[in-house]
Each structure stands twice: as structure tokens, then as C-alpha cells.
Amino acid sequence: MRVPPRRLAGDCGGHRRGGSPAPGELGVPPGDLLVALGPAILACCYEVGEDVAAAVASRVGSPPGLAPASGKPGRLRLDLHLANRIQLERAGVAAGAIHEAPWCTRCRDDLFFSFRREGEGAGRQMAAVGPAADP
Ligand SMILES: [Zn+2]
């Protein structure tokens, strides 16, 4: 017997070295999840060292989540959204249930603060999530 989907909402903070709960650890079947990946520094701007690249590669493989940064030995571009998408799909979340915000927080200084762009004095982003009102 299948339990009807519940109306729950949650927020999981991601981290480049891991740390978010796996979808199966949330108490909801991964196939019932709808995932929104919020604004983040994207592959156009996000360079990491080999230590971070190795940690990501151990989770998602290399590539497609990693690409060499041009002209910078030991530096790689990391596509955080792609790395998260790969992990979510492997855990059973439907590809069509994963939505990605298209903005790079470093590029879009008109919309977002960015530690990578502004340094220690950067402001902070805030997000809220919850179930929509009944129609
Ligand atoms: Zn960018």
C-alpha cells in the first residue's frame, strides 16, 4: 500500500565537502521529493583546489562535475548544481523533480552577496521554504 504524498517542506544546506543529508535519510521516499537548488556560485566562477575536487569526485565522479580551470595548475571548476543533481538522481529523486536557480551568486552582483567576490565583508543570503497554500 502506498502512502499518499505529504505536504512537507524542508531546507538542507549544502557544502562543497558534503554534509547534506541523503534524500533517503529525510524520512520521505526520494521519488516523492521535489528539489529546488537555490542560487549558488556556479561553474563559471567556482574554482576549487585538488583537495576539494577529490572529495567531490569521491561522491559524483570526475567529470562531469569537475573541469580544469584554464591556465591554473591544481585548480578545477566545480559545478555545484551538477554535483548535487548527480547525487540526488542516484539517490532516487526524479530528474524532472530537480529545479536549479539559474543565477551565479558571484556573477550577479545586482542580486546576491558573494563571499568570493566581496570577501569577509560580504552580506549574507537568506531563504525561506514552505508548502504552498491550498488552491
Ligand atoms: Zn559566475
pLDDT digits (tens, 9 = 90+) for 45-61: 998 888 888 888 887 77
Percent with pLDDT over 70 in the chain: 78
Whole-number Å distance, alpha carbon 32 to ligand 1 midpoint, is: 31
Mode of pairing for the β-strands spanning 75-78 and 66-68: antiparallel
Contact 112, 91 (CB under 8 A): no
Cα–Cα distance for residue pair 121/24, rounded to 1 Å? 37
H-only helix segments in the chain: 50-60, 80-90, 115-118
Whole-number Å distance, alpha carbon 44 to ligand 1 midpoint, is: 4
Whole-number Å distance, alpha carbon 117 to ligand 1 midpoint, is: 10
Cβ atoms within 10 Å of 128's Cβ, excluding its own = 6
Whole-number Å distance, alpha carbon 12 to ligand 1 midpoint, is: 22
Whole-number Å distance, alpha carbon 24 to ligand 1 midpoint, is: 31
Cell of 46: 567556482
Cα–Cα distance for residue pair 127/129, rounded to 1 Å? 7
Cβ atoms within 10 Å of 71's Cβ, excluding its own = 6
Whole-number Å distance, alpha carbon 1 to ligand 1 midpoint, is: 46
Whole-number Å distance, alpha carbon 46 to ligand 1 midpoint, is: 7
Contact 28, 97 (CB under 8 A): no
- Please tell me the pTM assigned to this model: 0.77
| Residues within 5 A (CB) of ion ligand 1 | 44-45, 104, 106-107
Q: What residues are paired with 104 via a beta bridge?
A: 40
In the three-class reduction of DSSP (H, G, I as helix; E, B as strand; rest coil), residue 20 is classed as coil
pLDDT digits (tens, 9 = 90+) for 48-95: 888 888 888 887 776 556 677 777 788 888 888 888 888 889 889 999
